[in-house]
Every structure is written in structure tokens, then in C-alpha cells.
Structure 1
Amino acid sequence: MALISFVVPAYRVQAYLSECLDSILGQPFDDVEVIGVDDHSPDGSGDILADYAARDHRVRAVRLAENVGLGSARNTGLDLAGGEYVWFVDGDDWLAPDCLAEVAARLRATRPDVLVVDHVRVRWDNRPTRSAMREVFPEPLGPATFRLRERPETLRLLHTAWNRLVRREFLVDLGLRFEPGWYEDVPFSFPVLMAAERIGVLDRVCVNYRQRRAGAITRTRGDRHFEVFVQWHRVFRLMDLWAPAVDDLRPVVFERMIWHYLTVLGNGERIAPELRPAFFAQITADHARFRPPGGHPVPEGVEGLKHRLAAAGRWRTFSALRAANHTQEAARRQVRRARPVARQAARRGRDALLREYYRAELCRPLDPTLAVYAAYWYRGYACNPAAIYEAARRLAPQVRGVWVVRRDRAGSLPVGVEFVVAGSREYHRVLARATWLINNVNFPDFVRKRPGSVHVQTHHGTPVKVMGLDQQRYPAGAMGMDFAKLLRRVDRWDYSVSANSFSTQMWERAYPAAYTTLEVGYPRNDRLATVTPGEVREVRARLGLAPGDRVVLYAPTHREHLPGYGPPFDPDLLLDALGPAGRLLIRSHYFHDRDRRPSGSAGPVLGPGGARIRDVSGHDRVEDLYLAADVLVTDYSSAMFDYAVLDRPIVVYAPDWTAYRLARGVYLDLLAEPPGAVTTSFPGLLDLFRSGAVDAPAATAARKRFRARFCALDDGHAAERVVRRVFLGEPG
């Protein structure tokens, strides 16, 4: 029996069907079967399915004698499915590469009744739009399962059949099938969640949901959109049959119903103007008919107003509100369609207004209690600024800390951390009024250094590659840099945090200015210096690592002079060299694609190695990964200096050492002064692990020398030292 049965209905999708099937069958996981259902399609979809079935034993093609519609075609595939789980994937969508191994691992580990997976919408011009997964679950759930009443917000995820896998026996025992008509997903997707005892959520993009320019019902006008009411009536009839077991879910299901109705009505490509009053009247009728006696959640703002107008039957007011919104949207579209020069002028105009507001705020007194924190160009809560923030909350509670983050990263902040969104009005206000500004990179050029304000540059690593003004000697690594502007930014610094005397020397060369150096160790390494064995076990357990696993963290750096470069590295071969207990964590540099990956998760499974190899690029706290790893493999990354605090084996894998030092420039000869074993070839890397040289006496001795030179100040109190000097004014 296959683990997953894919049911792929096909009707007028010949242009996309091969891509869909290839995305399933080409995965590095083959415990699947595909049941392709030709819904009497007038194009070549049926022939495509038949051809795949002739070439691949995992594919079964079924031709229907007449067109029965999407729901009934899915039922046909369900009746033929033999897998443990069923996944209904539409013939014009496609799976993300390499997602199946992680899906399978989650299914086998947790055995959920329903596993919901993430998706992106992909327009015909290839522009992607992410789903609501991050808004619904800002904190990754991991492998935990739950019942719907424990996490009712799950209903806010898109209610389709293709973004969830359902255990087949559970579905058969439930007796749930797809109903005919449009919006057939509604009486399937909501009931399976209500009935499931074990729901899992995998916050990894698995499905590319194609937004076709023509042919989709969401872009087709007509009275068939009234069938949405029929489908929702089926949901509530089913809830009546299941009562009282699901009565506590009625309020949230009711809210989703009204939201869905208003979404359909609000789409001008679905409901013709002459049909809108009747559609609205049916919404009002259903509101009165199905409204829970104890009330229901109503959204805030404009959406809440729409709900209340629908409940009251106020069509004229609703229509006027809709017209006003459309006028605003038309104005926005006009701006978007303007020439690039006009768009730039509009942006400059908006920016000018915000800068005027910023300049006005500069005339107001500094807030003597306000500290503004940022890290990695507003990517989130991390690094030295986060460690200083936490120490300040403890040692200087009178200081109010506010973080600056990008809008798409706001959900990654810990609960209770105050923040402003970069570019907003509040952002400009706090930058103008803060007494303290703490960052591990520079704040934007427009930020003024006010008399009495204190700027703290924490940096984000002991440098291996050359930095700042030293890059002028290496043009390949300094393309596009404006060194005059760089120095103006450096002139704002009051303090430069340094991890060791080596860093102090390099920073003073690279960033010559009148700041005071705080050579105190790196605050972000306090946790590494004070960690207990129990905390290490807890971190490893959260990452799904067993006590006997030998965990290797591979963390290469970014090559600015070689966009798209990746060091030669075969995870599966390295895993073979590690042996049965080996586990491999792979983390990209933050300049790469980390922002598109799930935040804080253990990461997707990579390659044939299955669950023994994981991409942890999306994990917010790199310190967790250091604690979990038994060995670090890196090249020119500052990660080696941090990891050395733990006194665990480090391997320098530098396959492009000669080219890198010539093109980018380095401050440290890693081959002569390595933190452990070193190699310049991938076969050599495999030999280091096979031979045991990774933690042989020679490597241990090299690490001891390295730690003595670079880690002597990392004693667990670096953040405290910064806070006492900067916030409390104590002498160094």
C-alpha cells in the first residue's frame, strides 16, 4: 500500500497537466500512486494521463463517459485510491520540488487524520503571492497535532481540498464525499477538520496554486456562484447531525461562512451587478438562519462593518461602501499602471512626507526611556541586539525597548516584544525620538545623530573577510559601495561592540571614527557560554534529534562577488561518511533565500537522506543550532568564532580558498590558523570524518589555540557589560 494516493482530476488542463504529474512523480520519494481522472475533457488531458500510465506503473488513468464536475471526479479517484493518505491535487497546479519527503516524514511521525500544507498562489506572469499561513500561525507548530477546537484559527487557512492530505480510512469511516456543483471544497474541507481527532500543519510550501488568467470559476461571471449557499447549507446540516459534539465550533464556522459569502460578492469577476442585490439578500437570510445563539466573532475594521451591514440587510449602505472602496482601488491601479518615473515620483512624494514628519519629530525632545533595536536590515529579533535587549529588560527595566522589523517579519518576534514596522509613521517617530539606537548593521542614511542620543553598533560576527574601507583593495567584493556614505554612517556610532582584540583592530581599520570600543565579548554568545546539558537536550529534542545522534551543522558564508555560488557539497555523501548515527543540518547565509523559508521550524527534509538531512535556514535563532550540533562545518563564516565558545569540533571546508582570498580578501589565514581540522576539497572533507581527524588531537589542539585567541571574553556576561556601560553609565 502506498503512503500517498494522489487524485488528479483533469478537465481542460492539457497545457498544465504534464507539469503537475512531473512534479509528483519526479520527487525524491516514490511511495505514491497517482489516479488521474479524465472528466470527459474535450482537450488532450485524457491522452496525457493515458500516456503517463503506460510509462509509469504508479499512474492509473481513468476516463469518465461524461463530464461529472470536479467533485464527482474526485470521488471517482477516491474510490480507486489504495494509499494510506489521499491528496487531491488539481491538474493545473503543481508541487514544490522536494516537498514530498518532508510531507511523508511528518505523516509517518505523527499519523494525523488531516495534514494541512502551505502553498503559494502563482499568477500567469509568474508573480507569487504567499498564503495566510504566517498570519494564522505566526509561531511554527512543528510536529504537534491538535483538534480544531484547540486551534480554531486553522479555519482561516484556505478551504481547499488540495492543501490538505486526509487519512483514507478516516475519510471512508466518516462517509464524507465531494458534493456536486461549484464551491465543492466547502462541504469537504470544513467537515474533515471538525471531525478530525489529529490535525497537523506543515508550514512548508508544497503546492503552487496556479492563478489562471482565464478558465477558472473564480474569474467567470454567472449565477452559478449562488451555489456557494447550497454548499454552506450542507455544512450546517452536517453540523446538526453531529451535534452536540461540534456545537462549540459553530461561532467560528459561521464567521467563515459570512466571510466567504462577502468574498464571493466582493469579487467583481464573479457576481454581475444585476445579481448582487439578490446575492446580498441571501447573505442576510443565511445570517439570520445560522447565527449561533451565543454570538460569533466579528472582524475588526472595514470587514467587521461589512458583516454588520449584511446582518442588518443594509444593501444600499453596503453598496455605497463597496463603491468607495472600488474608487480607491481604481486610484491605486492608476498609480500602479503609471510610467516608472511617475511611480518613482509618487514614492518620493510619500517618502518626502514621512521625512518631513521625521524632521518635525527631531524638534521634539528625546524620549529618555526609549531604546530602538534592529538586526540584519530589519529581518527580525536576533543576534547581539536581541541579547542586549534581554539583558536591558532585566538590568534597566526603566528603558523601553522597541524593535524595528519589516512587515513580513513582524510575526517572528517573541510574544510581548514591542515593535514598529519599517517605513511606517511610527518607525520614523521612534528613530527621531530614541535616546538609544542599537543595531548590528547601520541604520538608513537619513537617520540623524542627535545630541544626547547614543548609537551602538554591535556588528554581527568576528570578521574573516575584509570589511569597510579595507574592501577598497578588493573591487570584486566592493561593487556598488559608496565609501563616503559608509563613513558618514560610521560617524554616528558612539560605541562599537567587539568580541576580542582581533576584532577591535580590524574594526578600527575598516571603520575609522571617534566611537568608543566596547571590547566585552559578543552578547549573542552569552547563551553559549552558560548553557547547561539540560538545555542542550531540550534544544535537540525540539529539533527532533535523538540523544545518540551525531549532528553536523553545515553553515557556509555568502560570496558577494559570486552571486548564486554554492560550495561543492553533497549532503548524502557526507551523511554516508557520518554513519548511521549521523544527522546533517544545513543553514544558508541570510543574504540568500532564508526569508522565503518557514520561520523557526526544524526545516524541510532534503534529498534521499530523508529525515537525517534538514534545511534549517529558516530557524530564527542560530544559537539553537549551535547548541544542537556536535560538529560545525563552515568556510569563511563568523559562525566558527561563536561555535568555538562551546569547545566542540570545527571543520573548515574551503574549496575556493585561493580564489576567495584574492577576490574578496581575508583578515585571517584559516589554513595556517584554523579552529580545527581543515580541507580544501570535498573528498578531503569526507576523509576527515571517515578517519576521525575531525576530533583528533591535532584538531583539538588547533581549537584550543583558536579559543584562547578569540573567545576569552565570552564568559556569559557580555550583554550585561554593554547594558551597564551604555544604559546605566557605569565605567568599563
Structure 2
Amino acid sequence: MTLISFVVPAFRVQGYLRECLDSILDQPFADLEVIGVDDASPDDSGEIFTEYAARDPRVHPVRLTENAGLGPARNIGLDRAVGEYVWFVDGDDWLVTGCLPHVADRLVATRPDVLIVDHVRAHWNNTATRSAMRDVFPEPPGEEAFRLRDRPETMCLLHTAWNRVVRREFLVDRGLRFAPGWYEDVSFSYPALMAADRIGVLDRVCVNYRQRRTGAITRTRGDRHFEVFAQWHRVFRLMDRWGPAVAELRPAVFERMIWHYLTVLGNCDRIVPELRPAFFAQIHADFNRFRPPGGYPVPGGVEGVKHRLVAAGRWRTFSALRGANQAGDAARRSVRQARRRVLPVARRTARRSRDALLREYYRAELRRPIDPTLAVYAAYWYRGYACNPAAVYAAARQLAPHVRGVWIVRRDRVGTVPPGVEYVVAGTPAYYRALARARWLVNNVNFPDFVRKRPGSVHLQTHHGTPIKVMGLDQQRYPVGAMRMDFARLLHRVDRWDYSVSSNSFSTQMWERAYPAAYTTLEIGYPRNDRLALATPDEVQKVRAELGIDPDERVVLYAPTHREHLPGWRPPFDPDRLLDVLGPASRLLMRSHYFHDRDRRPRGPTAAQLLDVSSHDRVEDLYLAADVLVTDYSSAMFDYAVLDRPIIVYAPDWEAYRVARGVYFDLLAEPPGAVARDFPELLEVFRSDAVRSTAAEQARQCFRARFCALDDGHAAERVVRRVFLDEPAESVPSHRDGPMRA
């Protein structure tokens, strides 16, 4: 029999689900199964389960046709489980590496009905908060199993389902199931502890309890938090039915109920002010209804005062006490902030400059009305007219001619702006005026921190590549590559986004995880790839001619990515040796990352066949001209794959890169074509023509199906219709039928 069945329900967790599943399946323990329950999730959670099941027979996906809720979804998984034990792990949490053998050893050695494991709260800012384990058990709890009446303090551990592994037959015999509604853990976890003959505690951190910045129920305001009362009512009805067997536990359970109610009430992210009196009134009613005849252990200090106010039903006093505590906290925060501001303010005053005056001008412009026809565009930190914003700009000129598009460019890049494209120079009064008054702001990176999100303005984030390397908040786990990034400021910038363009489902999942905020995702393909999808043979020949390439020449484009953790590093690459293998009727184009110097000129005897195209403004021209792309971990491969031409992944430092910079998937296991781990292998790929082998072709087709399905040549049009013309999502293909998610 399988030892552990993991039940993983999923609803709107596509950005985190892969990490959850990997954390289970990659454990050094194999006697398990995963029941993945897609709770009619509107995102791609179900597709992720199907994808994992296709490559791992231990994964069994279940897809519900209607949303059932977390509790019923867990029940459905429980009904399909075959393991001796069941572990309910939420799809946005993940296991600690290497924890499972320790859990399995304890299960086999002690055969508990319930094994509680330790956890940490993993916050979005890469900090962690320990659980109450050490407070509840100051001394190690030991390996011996016990009953709850012997150690009632066990109830003070967090009452969730995911921090306990439960014997399946025990659940079936006692008829323990999850109830529908929010706070479903309450009416499952406490009865399970009360009914168990053998409880174990493993004081080893096994679960990372993700504290999401957005999207979590615990950070959602509304009246559904009143459902916590019904869950506790179920607990007490069950205790009434079980009678004397659990009577001595009633005082401790009652204390936990009041503690939980006050926790929910005290959380400003859950109960809105106008509902707080009614919530308090229900706490008071339940206090009187369920209070044990012999009393209960009232906590000391401020918590005890709260309990007495609840008992008396004194809401106004309770509210005043809470307000006084909050005012004290706010005053202490203000003092600390004032101390931190004194020196910076003095320094700013001393350094007041033209830039400061221009910022004042910007703030003045913010008080003027928004220009309802103005759209401001930028790309790559004002490097010029490029990428997705350029494609959106071109489409808007055709489809929304009433919109006046203005580009922001650096002074040294003015010469690259195409004729007829209006622009302002960064840092000038016109620049600040445009930023302040634009209705639409379009960028493939973020605008500077000082830019305000005005009511009525629309910020469109187009991004500039499908991610291989980790991005955004995920970089916190890879500080070597984060370049001293200020993640709090990053999130301030992300909060300005109204729309986020995604080129494929994979990107959507990663963006939602790396940049958690309230924007709408437009999963529609990349606008910049429209040109590649619609390119004709005549256009290809025209581009090649402009680059000085003969029609019969074989063109190889080499485009490596930047390595933040290794400034100035270059992959081992000898263009002369490669050109010797390619032969005289060939041309090698070399393009550095835009972070690098672009003024290098080819050297050596192969200069006639070698063309440095690092300074070429439009990378799409280079893609059209090339017969083969050689790259490492650059997002260029996703764009180039639209053309359905051979791609070689040249990865001489793959292991070091994935450890230092972090990656979202194993590129060498799922490449877009042939793979070379060192330069001799790269030469052999060309020498043997493995670049065009059947295996390479099949790999490219799988890659294209996964990442390029939405690049049909009309992505920019879809963006313009949704963002500029405000056409409803129904006017373009839906995500399930094709390219749109909104």
C-alpha cells in the first residue's frame, strides 16, 4: 500500500502550483501519490496537473466541472486516495526539501492517527515567521503518541489541515470530512484531534505556509468571514453528540474558539469597519451559548480583558481599547519614521537642484486634467522605439487614430526614433508633463518610482520576454543575481499596473507569482512577435539584403543573455572556429545583451563573415535574417521559435547559472532544439547536422506548442482593442479557445 496520499486542491494558484508539486515529487521518498483536484479553476491549474501526470504516474488529476470550494475539493481527493495516510497540502504552499523521509519514518515507527508537523509562514518578502511550536512545547514533544486529554495544549498549534498527516482509515471510520464554506479547517482539525487515540508531533519544519500578497482568503475583506461561526458550531454539535468522551476537553476548545473569533475580528484585512459590531455581537452570543458550566482557562493580560468585554457584550469599550492600542502603535511608528527622515530631508534640502525643480513641475502638472487622447510609450529604460510597446504603438495608430502616441527616449537615442514618431527627451519639462497628464502609459519595464498612478490613467505592462530566469519577488531567493534590488519599491511600481501582457500560459503563471498585484492579465501573445508570425519570404530577403547578406548564405545568429551575477562574463565562444565548421557560404551574426557594450567591432581573419549586430535597433530583423539561432538562457529563443527554425541551446554554465540566478524550468530537459554543454559540443552539433535532426525537430515542435501557440500575428490588435478601445473580452477569443484571459 502507498504510504502517503497527497491531496492538493487548486483554485487560482497557477503561479505557485508547480513549486508545490515539485516540492512533493522531488523529495527523496517515492512511496506516495498526488491527487490533484482542479476545483474548476479559471486559470491553468488543471492543465498543470495534467502536464505533471503525463510525466509522473504518481500524479492523478481530477477536474471538477463546477467550483466546489476547498473543503469539498479535499473530500473528493480523500475519496480517491489509496494511501495509508493522507496529507492535505494547499496548492500555493510547498514542502521543505528533504522533510518527507523524516515524516515517513515517524509514521512507520509510531502509526499515529494524526501526526502534526511544524511549519513556517513564508512571507512574500522572503522573510519567514516561526510557528507556535516552541511556545506550545518548550521542551521537545518527543516521539511517543498521546491522546488530546493528556496534552490539551496541542490545540494551540495552528488548526489547519496542511500541517497534519492523518491516517485514512481513521478518517473513514470516524466519518470525518470537510464542511463547505470558509474556515473549513476548524470543523475538521479539532474533531480529528479529539477523536484520535494516537497523536504525534514532529517538531521539524516541513511546510512553507505561503503568505500571499494578494489573492488569499485571509487577506480578502467581506461578509464571508462570518462563516467561521458555522464551522465552530459544527465542532460543538459534534462534541454534544460524542458526549462524555470529550466533555473534559470542552473548556480548552471553548478558549480556542474565542481566541479564533478575536483573531478574525482583529484582522483589518478581513472584517470591514461597518461589519465589526455585528461580528462582535455574534462572538458575544456564542460566548453565552457555548460557555462551559465550570468555566474555562481565561488568558491573562490584554487578551483576558478582551474575553471579559466579549462576555459582557461591551462593543464600544472593546472598540475603544483596540483604537487606543492602534494609536499607540501608530505613534511609535511615526517617531521611528521621523528619525529616519531627518537626515535624508536635510540632505535633499542641501542638494536641491534642477531635477528637484522639475519634480515640482511634475507635481504641478498632476493637478491639471488628464489628456484623454495621450498615450506615453517607453521601452528598455528609454533606450528608444522597440519591443512590444513599439508594436502596440503601430497598431494603435491604425486602430485608434484618436490616440496621440508620444515616446520617451534618452537624449543619446533620439537618432534611433523612426521618422514621424513623436517623442520627448527624458528629463526635460516635456517629459514630466507627458508622464503627468497621459491617460495611457505603456512600458516593457517599469516607469521610475516618482511616477504617480492617477485615477483614470491606465498603465500597461507589456514585459519583454518569456522568463527562463526567475524574476520579481522570486529573485529574493537568489540574492547574487538580484543586484541589491529594492523589492518594496518594485511592488510599489507593480501596483501601478492595470494590465500585464503575457505571451503564453507559462508566463502568466510566473508573472502572477513574481509580481503579485491586482492587475488584469492579457494572455494574448507578444505584440512584437506579430511581425515574425506574418513575415513573408520577400520581407526576409529584404532584411537580409539590408544587412548585406546574400540569399544563399547560411546565417547563424548568436545571442547570449546577460549574467547579473558575473558582470563582464562572456561564454566560451570562438567565432573563427565556428565559421571554419560552418564553411565559406555562411555568415555569423553576434549580438550582445542590451546591458553590454555595443560598440565592439569584429576582429581577425573571419571579419568578412562575422557581423556584430549588437547595435542593430530591431532584433526582429535579425531573427528574420537568421537560419539558425544559438543562444543560452535568453528569452530570444521563445520569439525566434515563432519562425519555426532551428535553435541550439549553448549552455556551458547551466548548473552554475541555475544555482546563482535561478530558473523556472529545466531548459536542458525541455529545450527548443539541440543542446551543447561546451564549445566542442556546439561545433559537433553543426558538424554532424544534429541541429536539424529528428530529435531536435521534435523538441522544437513541443516547445512551440507550449510557448508560441498564441503568437498568431494579431496580439497587438488584441491589446489595442482591449486597452485603448475598451472592447470587452468577449470581442476577442477567450483563453480556452485561444489567446485572451481577462
State the TM-score, normalizing by the size of structure 1. 0.52
Query: Aligned ranges for residues 566-585 of structure 1 at < 5 Å?
Result: 566-585=570-589
Corresponding position: 1:612 with 2:616: no
CA shift at 1:606, angstroms?
Answer: 3.6
Task: Pick one of 670, 677, 680 that aligns with 1:680.
Answer: 677
Match of 1:493 in 2: 497
Q: 1:570 to 1:346 in 2, by over 3 A?
A: farther
Distance between the aligned counterparts of 2:351 and 2:706, measured in 1? 49
Distance 1:369 1:573 in 2: 55
1:98-124 per-position Cα deviation (integer Å, ceiling 9, x unaligned): xxxxxxxxxxxxxxxxxxxxxxxxxxx
How far, CA to CA, are the matches of 1:540 and 1:606 in structure 2?
A: 22
Could you tell me how far apart the structure 2 residues matched to 1:692 and 1:669 are?
Answer: 24
Q: Show the 5 A alignment for 1:31-110.
A: none
1:593 and 2:593 correspond: no
Q: Distance in 1 between matches of 2:499 and 2:514?
A: 15
How many angstroms apart in 1 are the aligned matches of 2:497 and 2:479?
26
Equivalent position to 2:618, from 614, 618, 621? 621
Q: 1:360 to 1:707 in 2, by over 3 A?
A: same
1:3-37 CA deviation, whole Å, 9 max, x = no partner? xxxxxxxxxxxxxxxxxxxxxxxxxxxxxxxxxxx
Please give the secondary structure, in 1, of the residue aligned with 2:353: helix
Quick one: distance in 1 between partners of 2:468 and 2:352? 38
In 2: Cα distance, 1:346 partner to 1:410 partner? 33
For structure 1, the 5+ residue unaligned runs are 1-340, 598-603
How many Å separate the matches in 1 of 2:382 and 2:596?
A: 15
Deviation at residue 479 of structure 1 after TM alignment: 2.8
1:520 Cα offset (Å)? 0.4
Which residue of 663, 688, 691 corresponds with 2:660?
663
Partner in structure 2 of residue 444 of structure 1: 448
Q: Distance in 2 between matches of 1:342 and 1:418?
A: 39
Q: CA RMSD in A?
A: 1.5
Contact 1:606 1:615 in 2 (8 A): no
Give the Cα–Cα distance (whole angstroms) in 1 for the partners of residues 351 and 452 of structure 2: 21
The corresponding residue for 2:548 is 544
Which whole-Å CA distance do the structure 1 matches of 2:463 and 2:647 have between them?
A: 22
* 1:361 shift after superposition: 0.5
Structure 1 residues 243-262: aligned runs within 5 Å: none
1:426 to partner: Cα distance = 0.5
Q: Residue 405 of structure 2 aligns to a residue in which SS?
A: strand
Provide the residue aligned with 1:318 in structure 2: none
Equivalent of 2:470 in 453, 462, 466: 466
Q: Distance in 1 between matches of 2:347 and 2:415?
A: 29
The CA distance in 2 between the partners of 1:485 and 1:472, in whole Å, is 13
Q: 1:371 is paired with a residue of what secondary structure? A: strand
- Whole-Å Cα distance in 1 between the matches of residues 539 and 347 of structure 2? 52
1 CA distance for matches of 2:693 and 2:536? Answer: 25
Q: Residues 435 and 701 from structure 1, CA distance in 2 versus in 1: closer, same or farther, beyond 3 angstroms?
A: same
Pair 1:385 & 2:382 matched: no
Deviation at 1:344, TM superposition (A): 8.4
- Maintained 8 Å contact 1:605/1:615: yes
Instruction: Give distance in 2, aligned partners of 1:345 and 1:591.
Output: 34
Alignment counterpart, residue 455 of structure 1, candidates 450, 453, 459: 459
Cα 1:698–1:367 change in 2 (3 A) is: same
Tell me how far apart the structure 2 counterparts of residues 524 and 396 of structure 1 sit (CA, whole Å).
Answer: 18
Aligned to 1:410: 414
Secondary structure of the equivalent of 2:542?
helix
Q: Secondary structure at the match of 1:611?
A: coil
Corresponding residue for residue 160 of structure 1: none
1:244-323 map, 5 Å: none
Deviation at 1:352, TM superposition (A): 1.6
What is the CA distance between 1:582 and its match in structure 2? Answer: 1.6
Q: In structure 2, what is the equivalent of residue 509 of structure 1?
A: 513
1:554-589 per-position Cα deviation (integer Å, ceiling 9, x unaligned):
000000000110000000101111112121000000
Query: Match of 2:419, SS?
Result: coil
Distance 1:398 1:478, change over 3 A: same
Is 2:568 the partner of 1:564?
Answer: yes
Number of residue pairs matched by the alignment: 385
Q: Distance in 1 between matches of 2:571 and 2:360?
A: 47
CA distance in 2, matches of 1:345, 1:629: 54
Matched residue, 1:13: none
Cα distance 1:359–1:651, how it changes in 2: closer, same or farther (>3 A)? Answer: same
Cα offset, 1:414, TM superposition: 0.2
Aligned partner of 1:691: which letter? S
Displacement, 1:349? Answer: 2.1
Secondary structure at the residue paired with 2:568? coil
Amino acid of the residue matched to residue 591 of structure 1? F
TM-superposition CA deviations, 1:403-453 (whole Å, max 9, x none): 000000011100011000001100000000000000000000000000000
Name the counterpart of 2:425.
421
Distance 1:364 1:403 in 2: 21
Match of 1:373 among 377, 380, 389: 377
The offset of 1:551, in angstroms, is 0.2
Deviation at 1:511, TM superposition (A): 0.2
TM-score computed with the length of structure 2 as normaliser: 0.51
Note if contact 1:652-1:674 (Cα within 8 Å) is conserved in structure 2: yes
Report the Cα distance in structure 2 between the residues aligned to 1:379 and 1:690, rounded to whole angstroms.
38
Cα distance in 2 between the residues matched to 1:366 and 1:495: 19
Does structure 2 conserve the Cα–Cα contact (< 8 Å) formed by 1:607 and 1:613?
no
Is this contact kept in 2: 1:436–1:453, CA < 8 A? yes
AA at the equivalent of 2:612: D
Shift of 1:377: 0.2
Amino acid at match of 2:665: L
Match of 2:719 in 1: 722
Q: Which amino acid aligns with 1:552?
A: V
- Is the alpha carbon distance of 1:628 and 1:345 closer, same or farther for their aligned partners in structure 2, counting shifts above 3 Å? farther
Q: Percent identity, please.
A: 80
Q: For residue 364 of structure 1, what is the amino acid of its counterpart?
A: R
| Cα shift at 1:346 | 7.8
Distance 2:635 2:680 in 1: 24
Q: Is the 8 A contact 1:556 1:636 kept in 2?
A: yes
Give me the whole-angstrom Cα distance separating, in 2, the residues matched to 1:342 and 1:493.
Answer: 33
Aligned AA for 2:461? Q
Q: 1:381 to 1:342 in 2, by over 3 A?
A: farther
| Contact 1:626-1:643 within 8 A present in 2 as well | yes
Q: Name the SS of the counterpart of 1:445 in structure 2.
A: coil
How far apart are 1:591 and its partner, in Å?
0.5
